[in-house]
Structure 1
Amino acid sequence: MPRLKLGPIPDDKPIKVTLELPASLHRDLAAYAEVLARETGQPAADRIRLSAPMLARFIATDRAFTKAQ
């Protein structure tokens, strides 16, 4: 099975943000959290806590964004 793009979720000081997600994306986040928990051996991360590392990973790997900066 291929490895997920995310690893263990770091425990960092959060900034509160309100975000509306489509129900289908929320279900996908829940499923991703379960797969990540199995892969890392950690308890399943809160679905919302997955958003920050996913966004960070997306931004870090977006070549057009890096170029534009």
Structure 2
Amino acid sequence: MPELKLAKLPDRTPVKLAIIVTPDLHQMLQDYAALYAETYGREEPVAELVPAMLAAFLESDRSFVRARSPGK
């Protein structure tokens, strides 16, 4: 079998996750979505923004990134 430069793609099947948030957090998320729309001229539902927000948060947490890296 030939060896390709591109590795086999990882599983990209979405996983549905239901969460409960406080009214204050819900309002902050709504406010963020409004600011996002104002900034980028495109409305996105909170449910579409939250995964990107969580990924950005986790990727910016140096301790978490270090703990996940192989050979820590």
Matched residue, 1:22:
22
The whole-number CA distance in structure 1 between the counterparts of 2:53 and 2:61 is 12
Which structure is higher in RCO with an 8 Å CA cutoff and minimum separation 6? Answer: 1
| Alignment-derived partner of residue 34 in structure 1 | 34
CA RMSD, aligned part only? 1.7
After superposition, where does 1:1-69 map in structure 2 within 5 Å?
A: 14-42=14-42, 44-69=43-68
Structure 2 alignment gaps of length 5 or more:
1-12
Note if contact 1:33-1:50 (Cα within 8 Å) is conserved in structure 2: yes
Q: Which has the larger radius of gyration?
A: 2
1:14 to partner: Cα distance: 4.2
TM-score by length of structure 1 reads: 0.73
Q: Which runs of 5+ in 1 are unaligned?
A: 1-12
1:47 CA drift (Å): 1.4
TM-score by length of 2: 0.70
